[in-house]
């Protein structure tokens, strides 16, 4: 193998080691994984058992807890009992009134100490009030801004609520789908070139890129299903993003069926090229437009941000972007092997 010509293949080795080792071994920052009480009542004490992750409650000397309604109103803990490095019992004395004209409000739980820094569980506690008095509620709730500890010790990935350790699947599920789109674009370009040039080489290229892209799509569906099981509680839910992605993938599977059902080489190449263009055009609204027009649990749709500050930070991007390059190279490599196999097969058939 000529190393100068195949440098991009050899690049897979350091990229793969980097993505696997850094992506899987770097620890997450401390965070909150669960609480056992989600309902509080105005005028009554509220007790909650908190489970942390990678936390150090037992060695923190300045441990604080806050219940915040919004950026303006909050109360501090009345009692903290440390049961272990990741186990905490809290009590808040809820004031008699809430600073809102509604009969309920949503509270965010915030933990803070000098060892772990802040840990936040947003909009998780429902506070109810039988009587409404906004003025007294404003006076009873503190308006003091939080001055949280800022702790940066070592290289750590962010702790995202619900995702927890599964956030590492970003380097596989999301990166593989990026690589799939890259291959589908190459397949589209070759189909267009076939219709212009009538070159059977372009037809072979288009089908080879599409086949590997479909393989990556199936892997993406599988890794996404595992992710959904750990975050949403089921391998598949009736979510518009998931359903539209499955429809788009089925459209491309039909492309393979179309090619297999036509024996005439010219007709197969011409019809499959036209269908490939249709499949790519159909995929755009199915995956990128329709899910954004309705609510979706999947990030990037229905107001749920993707690849922004809520999902990624600069540390994750240091692994995520190389992972996209890695899977794109692997997909391109597999496609080229597929092209070579098809060309050899065509030569053997023509000699018979």
- State residue 292's pLDDT score: 82
Please enumerate in sequence order all residues whose Cβ is within 8 A of that of 51, keeping only pairs 6 or more positions apart, or say none: 32, 33, 34, 35, 86, 87, 88
Which pLDDT score, from 0 to 100, does residue 143 have?
80
Q: What confidence tens digit (pLDDT) does each residue in 27-45 have?
A: 999 999 999 999 999 999 9
Is residue 193 a contact partner of residue 202, using CB atoms and an 8 Å limit?
Answer: yes
Q: Distance between CA atoms of 163 and 158, rounded to whole angstroms?
A: 10
CATH no. of 32-140: 2.60.40.10
- In DSSP notation, 114-161 reads TTT--EEEEEEEEEE-SS--HHHHHHHSB-PPP-------SS-BPP-T
% of the chain exceeding 90 in pLDDT? 70
In the chain, domain spans: 32-140, 164-351
First CA to last CA distance, the chain: 31
The answer to whether 306 touches 163, Cβ cutoff 8 Å, is no
> Among 213, 193, 201, which Cα is nearest to 328's?
213
pTM equals 0.86
How do residues 149-178 score in pLDDT, each as one tens digit?
Answer: 888 778 899 888 888 899 999 999 999 999
CA distance 79 to 89: 8
């Amino acid at each position: 193998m000529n190393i100068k010509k195949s440098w991009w293949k050899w690049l897979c080795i350091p990229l793969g080691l980097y993505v696997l080792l850094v992506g899987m071994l770097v620890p997450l920052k401390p965070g909150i994984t669960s609480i056992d009480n989600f309902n509080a009542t105005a005028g009554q004490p509220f007790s909650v058992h908190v489970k942390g992750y990678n936390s150090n409650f037992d060695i923190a000397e300045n441990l604080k807890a806050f219940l915040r309604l919004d950026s303006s109103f909050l109360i501090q803990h009345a009692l903290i009992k440390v049961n272990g490095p990741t186990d905490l019992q809290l009590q808040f004395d809820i004031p008699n009134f809430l600073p809102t004209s509604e009969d309920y409000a949503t509270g965010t739980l915030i933990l803070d100490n000098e060892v772990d820094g802040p840990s936040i569980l947003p909009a998780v506690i429902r506070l109810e009030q039988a009587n409404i008095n906004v003025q007294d509620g404003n006076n009873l709730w503190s308006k003091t801004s939080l001055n949280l500890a800022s702790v940066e010790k070592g290289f750590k990935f962010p702790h995202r609520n619900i995702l927890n350790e599964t956030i590492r699947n970003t380097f596989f599920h999301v990166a593989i789908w990026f690589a799939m789109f890259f291959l589908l674009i190459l397949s589209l370009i070759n189909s267009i070139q076939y219709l212009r040039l009538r070159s059977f080489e372009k037809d072979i290229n288009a089908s080879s890129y599409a086949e590997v892209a479909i393989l990556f799509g199936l892997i993406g569906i599988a890794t996404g299903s595992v992710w959904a099981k750990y975050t949403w509680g089921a391998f598949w839910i009736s979510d518009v993003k998931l359903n539209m992605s499955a429809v788009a993938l089925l459209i491309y599977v039909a492309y393979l069926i179309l090619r297999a059902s036509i024996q005439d080489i010219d007709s197969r190449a011409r019809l499959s090229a036209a269908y490939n263009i249709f499949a790519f055009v159909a995929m755009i609204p199915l995956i990128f437009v329709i899910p954004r027009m309705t609510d979706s649990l999947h990030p990037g749709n229905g107001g749920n941000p993707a690849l922004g500050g809520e999902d990624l930070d600069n540390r994750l991007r240091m692994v995520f972007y190389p992972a996209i390059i890695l899977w794109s190279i692997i997909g391109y490599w597999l496609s080229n092997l597929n092209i070579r196999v098809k060309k050899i097969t065509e030569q053997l058939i023509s000699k018979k």
